[in-house]
Amino acid sequence: MTERIRVGVVGSKFAADFHCDAYSRIDAAEVVAVAAIDNLEGISSKYGIPKTYEDYNEMFEEENLDLVSVCAPNFLHHPVVLAASEAGIHAVCEKPLAISADQGREMVEVCGKNGTKLFYAEDWMHAPALVRTEALINEGAVGDILYIKAKEVHNGTHSPFAQNKETCGGGVFLHMGCHAVTWVLRILGKRENPVVEVTGKMTGGGDENFVHTKNTGEDFGMAMLRFRDGQFAFAESNYITLGGMDDKVEIYGTKGVIKVDLTFSSAVNCYSTDEISYSIEKADINRGWTKPAVDEFYSLGYVTEIEYFVNCVIRDEVPKYGVDGRAGLTTVEIIEACYESSELGKTVYGSWS
Are 146 and 271 within one domain? yes
Q: What is the pLDDT of residue 192?
A: 92
- Chain mean position to CA 128: 15
Q: What is the pLDDT of residue 269?
A: 97
Distance separating alpha carbons of residues 149 and 248, to the nearest angstrom: 8
**Is position 140 within any domain?**
yes
Are 183 and 295 within one domain? yes
Read off the pLDDT of residues 64-120 as tens digits, 9 standing for 90 and up. Answer: 999 999 999 999 999 999 999 999 999 999 999 999 999 999 999 999 999 999 999
pLDDT value at 191 more than 90 = no
Give the number of other CB atoms < 10 A from CB of residue 1.
10
- The b-or-e profile of 14-38 (16+ CB within 10 A means b, else e) is ebbbbbbbbbbebeebbbbbbbbee
The pairing of beta strand 270-272 with beta strand 288-290:
antiparallel
Q: Are 133 and 249 in contact (CB under 8 A)?
A: yes
Q: Average pLDDT for residues 53-58, to the nearest whole number? A: 98
Domains held by the chain: number: 2
Distance separating alpha carbons of residues 96 and 91, to the nearest angstrom: 14
Name the H helices within the chain: 14-24, 40-47, 56-62, 74-86, 101-114, 128-138, 160-163, 165-168, 172-175, 177-188, 296-299, 302-315, 325-344
Instruction: Write down the mean pLDDT value for the chain.
Output: 97
Using the 8-state DSSP alphabet, how is residue 319 labeled?
P
pLDDT value at 2 more than 70 = no
Q: Are 203 and 218 in contact (CB under 8 A)?
A: yes
**Is position 327 within any domain?**
no
Q: Are 167 and 173 in contact (CB under 8 A)?
A: no
Are 135 and 280 within one domain? yes
**Residue-range definition of the domain harbouring residue 42:** 5-122+302-322
**Is position 254 within any domain?**
yes
Are 188 and 88 within one domain? no
Q: What angle do CA 31, 317, 62 make, to 5 degrees?
A: 35
Are 54 and 65 within one domain? yes
Read off the pLDDT of residues 158-188 as tens digits, 9 standing for 90 and up. Answer: 999 999 999 999 999 999 999 999 999 999 9
SS3 247: strand
**Is position 249 within any domain?**
yes
Read off the pLDDT of residues 209-257 as tens digits, 9 standing for 90 and up. Answer: 999 999 999 999 999 999 999 999 999 999 999 999 999 999 999 999 9
**DSSP secondary structure letters along 108-151:** HHHHHHHT--EEEE-GGGG-HHHHHHHHHHHTTTT-SEEEEEEE
In single-letter form, the type of residue at position 251 comes to I
pLDDT value at 3 more than 80 = no
Q: Average pLDDT for residues 5-19, to the nearest whole number? A: 98
Q: What is the CATH number of the domain that holds 255?
A: 3.30.360.10
Q: What is the CATH number of the domain that holds 12?
A: 3.40.50.720
Q: Are 170 and 339 in contact (CB under 8 A)?
A: yes
Q: What is the pLDDT of residue 220?
A: 99
Closest CA to 221 of 241, 244, 238: 238
Are 117 and 222 within one domain? no
Q: Are 331 and 124 in contact (CB under 8 A)?
A: no
SS3 310: helix
Are 202 and 110 within one domain? no
User: Does the model's pTM come out above 0.85?
Assistant: yes
Are 10 and 153 within one domain? no
Which residues does residue 253 pair with via DSSP β-bridges, in sequence order? 145
Which residues does residue 93 pair with via DSSP β-bridges, in sequence order? 70, 120
pLDDT band at 1 (very low <50, low <70, confident <90, very high): very low
Are 263 and 187 within one domain? yes
User: What string of H, E and C letters represents the secondary structure of 189-243?
Assistant: CCCCCCEEEEEEEECCCHHHCCCCCCCCCCCEEEEEEEECCCCEEEEEEECCCCC
Read off the pLDDT of residues 257-304 as tens digits, 9 standing for 90 and up. Answer: 999 999 999 999 999 999 999 999 999 999 999 999 999 999 999 999
Phi and psi (nearest 5°) for 198?
Answer: -135, 145
Are 111 and 204 within one domain? no
Are 104 and 191 within one domain? no
Are 254 and 316 within one domain? no
Distance separating alpha carbons of residues 217 and 85, to the nearest angstrom: 30
Distance in angstroms between the alpha carbons of the first and the last residue of the chain = 33
